Amino acid sequence: MALALDVQPVRRRAKLTPSDYGVSFNGCDFITLNYLRWYPNSARAKSFRGELVHIHSNGYFWRPDARGYTSHVEEAWVVPFEEAFRRTEHIGLEKKISYQKVNKA
């Protein structure tokens, strides 16, 4: 079952910066919640569907089941992108939410 990223328009969107495009973070591909709010149906956004990701917020990774934060990627929660998005889509831009693809190496 495919899950669409149905993002409702927000009243205020932060202006996109180059860091929103998420070319690389710690050598891993990532995308920000801000980018998804602007371009929910872009090829870049679609490339994350079905991928496993870590949720990153204000410099830290989310721990399993969203129970705290860690600076160590080895301790970070591994979650399907669609679930990560559902869990974070309501969060304000001040939290700087991003989704980092899990290294498959």
pLDDT tens for residues 36-91? 998 899 888 999 999 999 999 998 999 999 999 999 999 999 999 999 999 999 99
**Side-chain-facing half-sphere of 88: CA atoms under 13 Å:** 29
Structure letter (DSSP) for residue 25: B
> According to the model, what pLDDT value does residue 50 have?
95
> According to the model, what pLDDT value does residue 1 have?
40
pLDDT at 4 over 80: no
Helix (H) or strand (E) holding 44: helix 43-46
CA distances from 65 to 45, 77, 97 (A): 23, 7, 16
> According to the model, what pLDDT value does residue 81 have?
96
**Side-chain-facing half-sphere of 30: CA atoms under 13 Å:** 23
Instruction: Provide the whole-model pTM.
Output: 0.76
Higher pLDDT, 22 or 39: 39
